[in-house]
Amino acid sequence: MKIGLLIDELAPGSTPKLIGWPIRKLAALGVEAEALAIVEKDHWQRHRTHYDFHLDGVKVRYLFREFPVLAQRFDFRFPGMSFFSLHHPSARLWAHRAVGRKEFDILIACCQYSTFAALNLKRRRGIPFITLVWDPSVFTARKIYRHRLGWRYWLILFGAALLDRYAIRECEAIITSGHFHHAYWRRLTRKPLEVLYPGCFPLDRLPDFSARERLIITWDRWDIGNLPHVFLDLLERVEDRQVRLALGGFWHPESLKEDFQRELGRRQLSERVDLLGPLNENDIQTLCSRAMVHVHAVHEAFGMQTLEAAGCGCPGIIPAGSGVAELFEDGRSGLHPPPGDFGALVEATNRIFADATFARRMGEAAWAVARRHTWDNYAETLRNIVERYAGRQEGRNA
C-alpha cells in the first residue's frame, strides 16, 4: 500500500511533526507513504534544525513545481486571508501534472485547503482520498474574523461554509482529532467519521516533581487568530507573584512578536516572562520537566502541546471540548475550564500552584495517559483507517 499525505504547505509549527512522524512510523509498519505539498515556501531553510528533526528521510513532493509557468508566476494570497491563496484553486486544475495515474492507493487530504488538489487527483488520476480536518472552516472564521472585518466577516463566513462542504463532498471518510465538531459534520454529510488522536514522545521515567519550578509553560504558532496576550492577563491575576511564564513558538508574522514585547514592557512583566522562540523536542522535554503546569488558553481541535507536556509528567490546563481533553479526566489527569471563561482559567492555574501534591498526582496520571498515545499508536490507527477505505472506490467502479 502507498499513501500520500497531502498538505497545502509545510507551515511552521506542528505541521512538520504531523507529517514527518506518521510517514516514518508507517514505514516501520511496512506501509509506504510520501508527503505531497501544494506549494513550497522557505520555512525549511529558515528553521532547518526543527524541520530536519521531524522530516529527516521523508520524501516531500511539491506539486506547484509542475504547474504551468503562468500559474507559478501569478500566485498571490487573497486580500484579508491568512493562508488562502491562488495556488489552492489552481491545484484543482493542475495538481495531476505532478502525480501518476493511481500512483497512490489513497490520499489523506490534511485540511480543507488541500482538498482542491485532492479532488483533481481523484478525477484526473483515479486516486481516492480521505479528508482530515481539525476545525471546520466556519469555526475558524468565527474565531479569527468575527470582530475584525465588519460586514466583510459575513462574506468570509459564507465562503467558509462553502469550503467545508467542498472539502468533504467526494472524500471516502472524514478524520477528526476529537468528537467536538461531529454534530456539525453530521449536519453536512452521512459519510463515516473517524477519530485519530495525534501522538507524542513520552519520557521513560518521570523527573522528581519536587524539583519543578513555579513556572507556566506554553508554546504555539502565534498569529492574528491566536495571540498570547491572555497569558499576560493570567500572570497579572495569578495569586502567587513568584510564578513565571516561559512562552515559545513561531510568530506569523514576526511583527506580532514585536507588538507582544512592547506589551510586556507596558505591563512591567518582562522580568517574569521568557520568550523562547521555536522549540525542538529536546526543548519541549526539558521545559516540561521543569514547569509545574502547561496552560493552553484557547479551545483547540486537538491541542498537541497538552499531550506533549503530559508525556513529561507536566499537568495540563486546556478548555473543555478540545480534542485532547477527551484523553484526560478533568480534575484527575487534567483541568478543563469552560472555553472563554477566563476566571475559571485563573482558578485552575491557582489550584496547581497552591497544592503541589495535587499537581504531582495530576502530572503522574497525565503521564500514564500520554504513554498510550505515541506516534507508533498513531501510525497503527492511521493504517487501520486507511485499510478500511483504500479499496472502496475500485469496488464501486466494478
pLDDT score of 69: 95
pLDDT > 60? residue 396: no
Q: What is 2-199+375-397's CATH number?
A: 3.40.50.2000
- Each domain of the chain, given as residue ranges in start order, spans 2-199+375-397, 209-370
Distances, alpha carbon 245 to alpha carbons 272, 290, 361, in Å: 6, 12, 22
CB 89 within 8 A of CB 67: no
CATH top class, domain 209-370: alpha beta
% of the chain exceeding 90 in pLDDT: 85
* pLDDT, tens only, 94-142: 999 999 999 999 999 999 999 999 999 999 999 999 999 999 999 988 8
Which band of pLDDT confidence, cut at 50, 70 and 90, is reported for residue 223? Answer: confident
pLDDT > 90? residue 148: no
pLDDT score of 341: 96
pLDDT > 70? residue 395: no
pLDDT > 60? residue 348: yes
pLDDT score of 392: 65
pLDDT > 80? residue 398: no
CB 346 within 8 A of CB 352: no
Lowest mean pLDDT among 8-12, 215-219, 243-247: 8-12
* pLDDT, tens only, 305-333: 999 999 999 999 999 999 999 999 999 99
* pLDDT, tens only, 46-97: 888 889 999 999 999 999 999 999 999 999 988 877 788 999 999 999 999 9
Is 0.85 topped by the overall pTM?
Answer: yes
pLDDT > 50? residue 209: yes
Interatomic CA distance for residues 239 and 251, integer angstroms:
29
Same fold, 2-199+375-397 and 209-370: yes
pLDDT score of 180: 94
* pLDDT, tens only, 369-390: 999 999 999 999 999 999 999 9
- The average pLDDT across 36-44 equals 94
pLDDT score of 393: 55
pLDDT > 50? residue 397: no
- The average pLDDT across 261-288 equals 94
- The average pLDDT across 262-270 equals 95
